[in-house]
Structure 1
């Protein structure tokens, strides 16, 4: 098998990225991966160029595999991570002129469409256990594990996040309203701050936050929501378990002139005490872990004062897909969010009903808004790469984040993922 590899093809430094070392060749696994590609591509509206004389798919967005043997070896070794790892390693790229997210959309559509959800026929699906990994025990989200998992992402570099997020440093879906459905090619960094403030205000409005309100922000990020609430006259306790994030959040509240109204604490949500009129948590549940979902919602209920309400913004996926993938070890868990698991709306409703006295009602869907947010972040990340690279990150890191942002965008564009705001009230 010949690999046609141009000189400019990316090659990772395996001393820095040991998980990207080329796997040992296994003819059986390689043959299985090649067979899977042929089966997947039979009705896939995309093109996979494996080498100079083998192309699969129905046309549309195209990818070029530079190192066919390595690509197939990675897919044959790990179904959950192999495709993404092959991109990090430089084994494949989108064809020139093809946007990475546009290429990933046809694959995501196969998962989101009920009739074509499974990429492989049933007989092939029965063999997936041979190439599927389980989540490692060291990613458990007890107090120590959660701190380590969260730190690996959110303490990566405050300066890096500052380069591609908008000035509010809000790292969750913005709320564009009707503009969310506009052509993504028109998505502009200039529109992001207003949309993020719109999202923050939508949460505070839903929670009834006003002057004098006592607010708890669980997983506060870099304090954009806490600052916005304090600017309304609220008293805010903002907690995170990412140490570098907490330091910057404290500085930002002081710079915003609300340091006297916001207490930023390095604290696990399980250790918080007190009563609050509003408990808010934006895109933090994805890092909690299935085992701790009842604990998380119980903590919210315990912190609510009589008459108080909670608002949770959560990334969700269809319930059946969550059940099918909850015990697998995915590329995102391995490289981006260790210990993470995306819930479904149904499981949130079940957990709150069975373990708390809370009722969870969806008040807003932001899936299209997240796709637009991610496109803006990715464009900005690429534009700012010279400054980000100067912080000490290499080209493999760049490919990892481009893939993560594009992969996520494709999920929201196809409905495989959604983002919802939930109102939590006592039954």
Structure 2
């Protein structure tokens, strides 16, 4: 495709001529859909995605011609999935309420569905998740007297880690019924119900004032129309000397404006209503809608590539269990494409992931540097 990366020699086997129509009419989404339909196969799907990423101009051209006629339909579909109060609930259900037993098949025992941090080559996925949680707690210098608010509970991993290891009180919220039920059971089983308040509320409905705020890869589900609303609420929830740690998947500033309008495979099939922010988009929103300022940013995109590879391996090792839960071959191929699509994007730095430390005006951050080991 015009790039000289010799390590990216890929093999694609076309099994059905419908593949060509899918590409012509659907562009990059057509490539994904034809894979889901088993119209083509490859020994290394991630490398195919990397090749796509390295030839972005070619991929962009795939969205022209006949594919341009279907683009308005895809954009209309995405617009209908806006993250209003009602829309957010529907979009969360579309992904996270597939069932806790499904996610257990590829997540590590912490049930953290976000990038880990691998300090050592032989770190397990569970260790990488724990490294990430410890880094967040260390960055915020959590203390037993701290009142912490978390936006986006997940399955309760951060709340339980912070409460157990740092003694602080954590109030955490989710709008997923499945995650709420699982997290509540885990909290009760761990004897942490006196340290953790679990809510089932939209972040826009939260009240109170807290010392620290944590949000791990939740902003991607907010939607770009609501970035200002999100950061305004975060600011309002923090005391005048409060601090916040957000972990966010990011896209380059140069591609953000086009990406927020376009509908790719992820928006269409995996995370309806989502939008990956850029660092500049976050900074602009912070300035416009809050009194928060950024004091530190750690970027560790290659750790997410490793995380996705670990998830994908676990998923493949449990294919029979996935099928036993009633999921189809098309569903399995869609998830394989999802894992590889994201891993390839991180490997070629089309997307990355960062931890951002944000503080309120009266916060006084010590003059110390905490290096991110790689």
TM-score (norm 1): 0.80
1:114 equivalent in structure 2: none
2:257 equivalent in structure 1: 323
2:365 equivalent in structure 1: none
Identify if the C-alpha distance between structure 1 residues 59 and 259 changes in structure 2 by more than 3 Å, giving closer, same or farther.
closer
Partner of 2:305: helix, strand, or coil? helix
2:182 equivalent in structure 1: 248
Which consecutive residues of structure 1, in runs of 5 or more, have no partner in the other structure? Answer: 1-40, 47-57, 112-117, 180-187
Q: Distance in 2 between matches of 1:148 and 1:366?
A: 31
1:230 equivalent in structure 2: 163
1:86-144: CA deviation from partner (whole Å, max 9, x where unpaired): 100011000xxx32112221111233xxxxxx12698x876564453314232010000
How far did 1:353 drift? 0.8
1:212 equivalent in structure 2: 145
Identify if the C-alpha distance between structure 1 residues 120 and 83 changes in structure 2 by more than 3 Å, giving closer, same or farther.
closer
Identify if the C-alpha distance between structure 1 residues 210 and 107 changes in structure 2 by more than 3 Å, giving closer, same or farther.
same
Instruction: Trace 1:144-293 onto structure 2 (pairs within 5 A).
Output: 144-177=86-119, 179=121, 191-231=124-164, 232-293=166-227
1:188-231: CA deviation from partner (whole Å, max 9, x where unpaired): 7x711111011011111112212121011101100100001111
Higher-Rg structure is: 1
Q: Distance in 2 between matches of 1:339 and 1:125?
A: 20
How far did 1:240 drift? 0.5
Asked whether 1:72 is paired with 2:20, we answer: yes
Asked whether 1:134 is paired with 2:75, we answer: yes
| C-alpha contact 2:2 2:55 (8 A) present in aligned 1 | no
Extract structure 1 runs of 4+ deviating beyond 3 A.
Answer: 42-46, 124-131
Partner of 2:272: helix, strand, or coil? coil
| C-alpha contact 1:362 1:420 (8 A) present in aligned 2 | no
Partner of 1:212: helix, strand, or coil? coil
Asked whether 1:106 is paired with 2:26, we answer: no
| C-alpha contact 2:52 2:59 (8 A) present in aligned 1 | no
Q: Distance in 1 between matches of 2:76 and 2:264?
A: 8
| C-alpha contact 1:288 1:296 (8 A) present in aligned 2 | yes
Which consecutive residues of structure 2, in runs of 5 or more, have no partner in the other structure? Answer: 362-374
| C-alpha contact 2:8 2:51 (8 A) present in aligned 1 | no
1:91 equivalent in structure 2: 39
Partner of 1:424: helix, strand, or coil? strand
Say how many residue pairs are matched.
Answer: 356
How far did 1:319 drift? 1.4
Asked whether 1:119 is paired with 2:77, we answer: no
2:368 equivalent in structure 1: none
Q: Distance in 1 between matches of 2:13 and 2:217?
A: 35
How far did 1:362 drift? 4.2
Task: Indicate the RMSD between aligned Cα atoms, in angstroms.
Answer: 2.0
Q: Distance in 2 between matches of 1:81 and 1:158?
A: 28
How far did 1:325 drift? 2.0
Asked whether 1:416 is paired with 2:365, we answer: no
Q: Distance in 1 between matches of 2:93 and 2:8?
A: 42
How far did 1:420 drift? 0.2
Q: Distance in 2 between matches of 1:385 and 1:125?
A: 33
1:262-316: CA deviation from partner (whole Å, max 9, x where unpaired): 1111110000001111110000000000110000001100000121101100000
